[in-house]
A and B are shown apart, each in its own frame.
Chain A
Amino acid sequence: MDRLRGYLDREGPLRPSTSVILISAALTLLGVVMIGSVSTGPETTAADPYAFTVKQMMFAGLGILIAFIVSRVPLSFVMSQERTVTRLTWGLLVAVLAIGSVQLGAKRWIAVGPFHIQPSEIAKITIILITAKWAATRADNLSDYRRGFLFGFLAVGFTCLLVILEKDMGTTLFLFALGAGCMWAGGARFLHLAGTSAAFLGALGVVAWAMGNFDYVVRRLDGYASGSGTANDQVAAGLDALRTGGVFGTGLGEGSAHLGFVPKIHNDFIVAAVGEQLGLVGVLLLVAGYVFLFHAGWRIAESAKNRASYVIAFGVSLCIAMQAIFNLCVATGLVPPKGINLPFVSYGGSSLLVLGAAVGLLLAVARENDAPAAVPAAELDELGMADDRATGPTSLGGAAS
């Protein structure tokens, strides 16, 4: 009985799940505030300057709802729906090629009423679920290339292939890196992963070249190297904003970066606004937020009860961290510009909903970790709680295999 109570009483402010909730909420709130503070630029209309802020708040609310729902759904159910989710994602990725709407010169969105869904955002969750399922179902054959490794790799690779057909090289590489990371953490052998990845990336390159996608990439890299081109002007302006902000920033709503100076500042370059208005302090707090979020996710993963949960928690943490690192690197001029937004903070509906689902999955894993372990039947019988056996944790991987 004491042991059971001990499981139930396990709580505290520093629990990983609490950290995840607090940090993601803080980051989302920061995003709403920053989008509000840059809502005077030319990308907003004078009639409704806070349209972006209101939409972001709306999607943040929806994201929280999704996170709550997903966190309450048993992981066994989620994993049982992995195939459905995968097929749906693949369907959307194919559909976007046919019926996608063009925005900013790229065909990556499907218009649903007033909203635009970006299937490649959903693909991030799908990749995590694919690798989680793979780690659980192929647990016995992970070191076997054909019966173990290749099975998961092909699913990841196929998803990436569909994304590259949208001529989105950056997201393709991001998804591939996420899939590879999840597989490595999930038990794949390094040699298998490295060799096959090299071959696959070569193949992706051929596909991209055949589609004429390379010209654009080469031009952009050329531009980055020579410091010219519109995208680099955006980066240069972003860097100026960071310099202007100094240590403590110009103050919320102050600064000039949002006055048409840094295009898409509410989206991919929100860091420029943070840096200018809140200064280095703001940027470092932002970075610290992601570090702690990754650490909390890591702790949740380490406490996972099975490989599927582990890969889900690790994958979600890695996905958020990678996205944040890439965005921050672009904003600080460390890598060539690529449209990857800052998780929770950047403006974007699809991103917030997908992040909501991701955080929900992380919390679900945490909830599962925190749930009482299966109490031996004899013990339950002794306590007169034999009927509670059914409420014990479900062995996900085992059930599936």
Chain B
Amino acid sequence: MNDGTADSVSTLPRTGRTFIAVSVLFLFGVVAVRATWLSVAFGEAKAAAVARQEPRANPPTARLAAAETRPLRVAVPMEARPRRGTIFDRTGRPLAISAWKHRLLFNPSLFDTGPIEAAIAARGDTTPTASEKRRMERMRKILRDIEYALPRFLTAEKIRFDEKDLLARIRGSRDPKTGRPIKEVVLARDVSPTSRRRLLEAFRLRAQADKDLDWDGFMFDDVVFREYPWGAAVAQVLGMVAESPDPRDGGRVAGRSGMEWQLDRVLEGRPGQILEERDGLNTPFRDEIAFATAPIQGGDVTLTIDAEIQRTLIDEMEKQAKEFPCAKASTVVLDARTGDILGIASWPSTTPYAKDFKAERLQLGAASDSYEPGSTIKPIVVSTALERGVIREDERFECGGADGTEFFLGRKVTEYSTNPSPLTAQEILWRSSNVGATRIGLHRLGLPGLFDAFGRFKLRGRPGSGLPHETAGWYTPQVAPKGSGLASATESGAGVSFPRGYEIRLSPLHLATTYTVFATGGDRVAPNIIREIRYGDSVIQPAPRIDRDVVGDSAVAYVAEGMRQVIENPRGTAHRTGFSQKYTMMGKTGTAQYADRDTARGTAYNTWFCGVAPAHEPRIVVCTVFHKVIRTGKGYTGGVISAPVARTVVERTLEIMGVPPDRETPSVDAVRAPR
């Protein structure tokens, strides 16, 4: 084909063109190998790493910084958090409501010039390169602008913030202790969706006005805010929610105390799974959200408490506590027929999320604290003695005589007020005779009889209301467990202590439950805090749990009359303070000496009143106790301190329940007082 002339291709040296051709083919081969490596070998490991990443809407700069690890358009299985259920009171008033709000977060490490300065220092230079200088200047410019403008934006949106604190957070790019960069600080909480939208628009306009003012590093996250409209009145029953410290919960907001904790799984619902796709800018395709599994919304819970009654309890206890110095007070109101807890509270209480919030005050002492019940135990002793036939209704007992004291098993028992004449069991109750009660308990019932009484009234074990952290009732055991270090009842002489309510510990809730026996004519009604739970398609309504005939009718009637005299009889221990002009009431006062390491016996008291109202057709049981009342000249007994609270609570509760006043002639004189 070629002719061999100077212009002929065949005369060209082949070395150059062959070398070039081989080089070209070799380079194409290198590209092919590299593409294969990227797509197959490295790609799979990378995709797995990407898939493992926690999806988060990163700001552009952070995204660029994480260029090697950011997620591409991947379907991210995200947890679909259901709405947390609402808690209502028995009348349907919302007590705990969930609302979504936003937090404004900021990443100060994006404006940390430290690494650049370190890089300059590392290469032994003192002057930065033009690029480094520009980057640092840009960071400082944006930071200055944020410091200037952000407080104004927040003020315009009426978002609360502390300017000094805000500026410190913006500037704090490194942890002063560890030196690690701080990537997330909360600048403002409680940002409404509208404010969030307007702030984002403000940031955008800032960048639009000056492209160097791209406010990087701002993020909003969604936080569920739990609101408690009734504040301190119901705080101890409801408890509160907070971010769970359990790493398995992934920082979710969970109930941390009270019913929020107890019913957390119900209120929380069941999270579903969202399949969310994100684009290269890590922005979710909102219109492509699909549920892999739909969430089950949190259950709505209706409690048996009444918010108004709760408020009454707190107010009354506070009023009384101011007059009679004490450490704590608790009151329980039960529906005598169903066991529903209409009100339960302890003073002092606290308001969740308030500035003066004190976590320790969230403890519901009415259910979780136990005290020696003092004389409030006497109706149990007397009723059991009658039931067992060891005493007769008309039998009279010597009660210390004019001296007012008597020794039992070598221990001195003293009367609060002397009883020169022998008393019937009924009189022993309304006069609260310690000697009389001890005589019945120790001599007639004996320890086996007393233990039988405590067993019948279920003084050991928990009341089982559904409230969390209920304390169990306790009394000195018949036989002390080996190695426990405890004395048995025989050794400790509990036969002398029990009838006066010592060596026994009961919570106010427990004692109130016990008194349902006297309100129902002999049946013990277990307490209950949950009225209804609606979860998914199911509705749960706990039925009353009643132990029938704990004590017979006649014994109950006899004791009830004795308890009625406590209020009605002018010489009854709670007549002056517990007599209501509207409702008849029966009850028993109790004043137990309190002693601990720092408190000498006889200086502080636990003062009780446990009552049932109305007396003739009981609807409610009220039990109130003031703990560690300091003995003052104004009085220190259950009749003086606790009975007035119980009276007011009874009146208010029965009014709320719509029970008409049963006292026809609201006069003390109308009641014929037995001698």
Residues of B within 8 A of A322 (CB): 24
Nearest B residue to A139 via CB reads: B6
B281 touches A260 (CB 8 A): yes
Q: Interface digits, A333-358 against B, CB 8 Å rule (1 contact, 0 not)? A: 11000000000000000000000000
Q: Interface digits, A296-312 against B, CB 8 Å rule (1 contact, 0 not)? A: 00100111111111100
A304 to B72, CA, bound (A): 50
B35 touches A283 (CB 8 A): yes
Is B7 in the interface zone, CB < 8 Å from A?
A: yes
Is B30 in the interface zone, CB < 8 Å from A?
A: yes
Of A257, A298, A397, the contact of B280 (CB 8 Å cutoff): A257
A261 touches B280 (CB 8 A): yes
B20 touches A184 (CB 8 A): yes
Is A373 in the interface zone, CB < 8 Å from B?
A: yes
A291 to B9, CA, bound (A): 23
A-B contact count (CB 8 A): 157
Is B40 in the interface zone, CB < 8 Å from A?
A: yes
Residues of B within 8 A of A244 (CB): 43, 47, 72-73
List the one stretch of A10-18, A120-128, A324-332 in contact with chain B.
Answer: A324-332
A287 touches B43 (CB 8 A): no
Within 8 A of A (CB), among B26-48: 27-28, 30-32, 34-36, 38-40, 42-44, 46-47
A284 touches B20 (CB 8 A): no
Identify which of A185, A186, A237, A284 gathers the most chain B CB atoms within 10 Å of its CB: A185
B7 touches A185 (CB 8 A): no
* Given A246-B47, A280-B36, A283-B39; A332-B31 close (CB under 8 Å): yes
Is B481 in the interface zone, CB < 8 Å from A?
A: no
State the Cβ distance, B55 to closest chain A Cβ, in Å: 13
Of B34, B131, B281, the contact of A259 (CB 8 Å cutoff): B281
Is B484 in the interface zone, CB < 8 Å from A?
A: no
Is B665 in the interface zone, CB < 8 Å from A?
A: no
Of A187, A237, A240, the contact of B12 (CB 8 Å cutoff): A187
* Given A219-B131, A243-B42; A328-B280 close (CB under 8 Å): no
Is B279 in the interface zone, CB < 8 Å from A?
A: yes
Sorting the interface of chain A by its residue count into under 10, 10 to 19, 20 to 34 or 35 or more gives 35 or more
Main secondary structure of the interface of B (DSSP, over half): helix
Is A114 in the interface zone, CB < 8 Å from B?
A: no
Of A237, A246, A250, the contact of B40 (CB 8 Å cutoff): A246
A141 to B139, CA, bound (A): 63
Residues of B within 8 A of A310 (CB): 9, 12
A318 to B28, CA, bound (A): 12
Is A290 in the interface zone, CB < 8 Å from B?
A: yes
B281 touches A325 (CB 8 A): no
Q: Interface digits, B12-27 against A, CB 8 Å rule (1 contact, 0 not)? A: 1101110111001101
Of A242, A255, A321, A397, the contact of B39 (CB 8 Å cutoff): A242
Is A379 in the interface zone, CB < 8 Å from B?
A: no
| Given A255-B73, A256-B280, 7 extra CB contacts under 8 A | A237-B67, A242-B38, A245-B43, A255-B72, A261-B279, A307-B9, A333-B34
What would 28 A/B residue contacts be, using CB atoms closer than 8 Å? A187-B12, A188-B16, A190-B16, A219-B131, A237-B280, A240-B68, A242-B39, A242-B43, A243-B46, A244-B73, A245-B39, A245-B43, A246-B40, A246-B43, A247-B39, A250-B73, A256-B73, A256-B280, A261-B281, A287-B28, A302-B9, A306-B9, A309-B9, A314-B17, A318-B20, A328-B28, A329-B34, A332-B31
